[in-house]
Amino acid sequence: MGCATCGKPLSAVNQSGYCRKHFGALNSERTSEQSRRQWANPEYRLKHIGAMRRLGQHRIAWCPLEYREDYRILKRVKHYSAAQAREMIEARIAADLRRYELTGQLQRTVA
């Protein structure tokens, strides 16, 4: 017997009736259908948007707007932990402030 979607032969121990790829696709379809249904509920949506906003603002409130992009890059592109990225940004802010005191010019250090 093969995968119910593509007919690819399955191993004897397969229990899902789908190959790995289509079993995954089936699951993600179910999950997105479920979240679509949840998001269609205004109460659920409000609650979760509120929670996400609070969390987002709280977690990044320490970081000046000008540095948020750098912070995001450190985390998402360079994969530093939140604590490491914060330390680096804070060091950068301190360095920029020192330079400002010396030169009177506020220049952001470029990563």
CB 36 → Zn ion: shortest distance, Å? 24
Q: Which are the contacts of 80, defined by CB distance < 8 A and separation ≥ 6?
A: 74, 88
Q: If 0-12 CB within 10 Å is exposed, 13-18 middle and 19+ buried, where does residue 34 land?
A: exposed
- CB neighbours of residue 67 within 10 Å: 20
Looking at 15-23, 25-33, 63-71, 102-110, which segment touches Zn ion (CB under 5 A)?
Answer: 15-23
CB 78 within 8 A of CB 93: no
Q: Tell me whether residue 19 or residue 93 sits nearer to Zn ion (CB atom).
A: 19
Looking at 3-11, 25-33, 58-66, 98-106, which segment touches Zn ion (CB under 5 A)?
Answer: 3-11
Q: How many residues line the site for Zn ion (CB under 5 A)?
A: 6
> For binding to Zn ion (CB under 5 A), which residues are involved?
3, 5-6, 8, 19, 22
